[in-house]
Amino acid sequence: MKKIYILFSFFFLTLSTFCQPNESFKITHGPWLTQMSETGVTILWTTSKNAVSWVEVAPDDGTNFYGEERPRYFDTKNGRIRATSTLHKVEIRNLKPGTSYRYAIFSKELLNWENDARILYGATIANPGYARNPLSFKTFSGEDDSVNFLIFNDVHGRSQLMKDLCKVIDFKTIDMVVFNGDMASSVYSEEQLFTDFLDAAVSLFASRIPIVYVRGNHETRGPYSDFLSDYFPTSTGNIYQLLNVGKVAFLLLDCGEDKPDSDIEYSGLADFDSYREKEATWLKSVVQTKEYKNADIKLAILHMPLMSSDWHGTLHLNELFLPVLNEAGVTAMFSGHTHQYAYNKPIAGKINFPVLVNSNNGIVLCNIDNGKVKATITYSNGSKPQEIILN
Ligand SMILES: [Fe+2]
């Protein structure tokens, strides 16, 4: 009798284990967009467990999302669909310029990888396309004369500040949002990225409008900082890059740290002198490309403002980047870092372009229209917005 009881107990225990709804498999953060171009975008999100993930994309043409099978774009790496990650990044390609698309994200839980011919999957979860207000984005267009973008910097984990600053922003008119450094004070974990700024960004705009990440010096700190670029991938793998939007070229520059590499604050982990030298070599060549030279407006984005301090990082950037930028027809530079607003005009013989330094409590709305670059800075305390024409 005892044996039968044990057998039945085992049977019901096993049954209940298999029948339990897998409630813990879910989309945990995102989606957010990055690497927008005229023909593509990268979409990222996280799940609570490892999963195979994909995105289905449909043009925003009034058809039902489920009127036909939509193309699927998988989260792949070097030709293989990724199944062993909770961070999912799907590159969408071959889109039309200046075109709106709807999208839906899917993740299928990986339960057990017994061998390559026998992988057991669980439930598929989705942010489906039949939602009343489906997820969507619009690709950049090379024909656009007007480009509008926002800049946040020096948020230092104050996600509520981001929400406060965005109360006056009409995101319908925004092409992209630049994070110009020090969004976090240091990077200790994935969760911190979300609580510091990324969840706020998703709730405000990032599922529809791409993030452009320009690293600050503080984001080079912390044990998880090496993984920051996994959340904001670039086509080259480098953090610094050239981005073309309409007739505007953006030099997205990476500043490194502000003190000498040997400073005790870095515990022997800083190697930014040689990094900046490598970046300067890239900068010299990228300003010679037709993608840069043919742009009507040329903007540089760099967290630490040039010519504004005598700390080692700035001095080194002045030495390496400034001679190149001075010869490259830069229209204006956007910076942060100092936590104080400044508008530094060009200085004859030293710096050929103005540098707009945003404080740690303002958001910059930049409108480029008919060749004019206008910046409007709004503050969270409700003080009067500042408006500056940069060219
Ligand atoms: Fe900074």
pLDDT confidence bin for 9, thresholds 50/70/90:
very low
Question: DSSP 3-state assignment of 103?
Answer: strand
Residue 348 tokens read as 């004859």
Closest of 38, 1, 4, 28 to residue 244, by C-alpha: 38
Q: Is the pLDDT of residue 8 over 70?
A: no
Query: How far is ligand 1, taken at its centre, from the CA of residue 231, in Å?
Result: 20
pLDDT confidence bin for 16, thresholds 50/70/90:
very low
User: By percentage, how much of the chain surpasses pLDDT 90?
Assistant: 88
Residue 285 tokens read as 């060549």
Query: How far is ligand 1, taken at its centre, from the CA of residue 310, in Å?
Result: 14
Under a CB-based contact definition with an 8 Å cutoff, are residues 254 and 215 in contact?
yes
Q: Is the dihedral of CA 189, 192, 198, 199 positive or negative?
A: positive
Q: What is the pLDDT of residue 1?
A: 45
Q: Is the pLDDT of residue 19 over 50?
A: no
* CATH, domain range 27-138: 2.60.40.10
DSSP label of 347: B
Q: What is the pLDDT of residue 132?
A: 66
Closest of 378, 375, 373 to residue 359, by C-alpha: 378
Query: How far is ligand 1, taken at its centre, from the CA of residue 174, in Å?
Result: 25
Query: How far is ligand 1, taken at its centre, from the CA of residue 65, in Å?
Result: 44
Question: DSSP 3-state assignment of 258?
Answer: coil
Q: Is the pLDDT of residue 212 over 70?
A: yes
Query: How far is ligand 1, taken at its centre, from the CA of residue 381, in Å?
Result: 22
d(CA 121, CA 7): 28
Query: How far is ligand 1, taken at its centre, from the CA of residue 219, in Å?
Result: 9
Under a CB-based contact definition with an 8 Å cutoff, are residues 50 and 220 in contact?
no
d(CA 385, CA 305): 22
Q: What is the pLDDT of residue 381?
A: 86
Average pLDDT of the residues of the chain:
93
Residues 132-151: tens digit of each pLDDT: 668 999 999 988 889 999 99
Under a CB-based contact definition with an 8 Å cutoff, are residues 122 and 72 in contact?
no
Q: Is the pLDDT of residue 23 over 90?
A: no
Query: How far is ligand 1, taken at its centre, from the CA of residue 304, in Å?
Result: 6
Query: How far is ligand 1, taken at its centre, from the CA of residue 117, in Å?
Result: 50
pLDDT average, residue stretch 324-343: 97
Q: What is the pLDDT of residue 4?
A: 46
Residues of the chain with CATH 2.60.40.10: 27-138
d(CA 359, CA 377): 9
Residues of the chain with CATH 3.60.21.10: 147-389
pLDDT confidence bin for 248, thresholds 50/70/90:
very high
Question: DSSP 3-state assignment of 230?
Answer: helix
Q: Is the pLDDT of residue 43 over 80?
A: yes
d(CA 302, CA 253): 5
Query: How far is ligand 1, taken at its centre, from the CA of residue 297, in Å?
Result: 26
pLDDT confidence bin for 382, thresholds 50/70/90:
confident
We find that the CATH architecture of domain 147-389 is: 4-Layer Sandwich (3.60)
Query: How far is ligand 1, taken at its centre, from the CA of residue 78, in Å?
Result: 35
Q: Is the pLDDT of residue 91 over 60?
A: yes
Query: How far is ligand 1, taken at its centre, from the CA of residue 155, in Å?
Result: 10
Query: How far is ligand 1, taken at its centre, from the CA of residue 169, in Å?
Result: 24
Under a CB-based contact definition with an 8 Å cutoff, are residues 77 and 65 in contact?
no
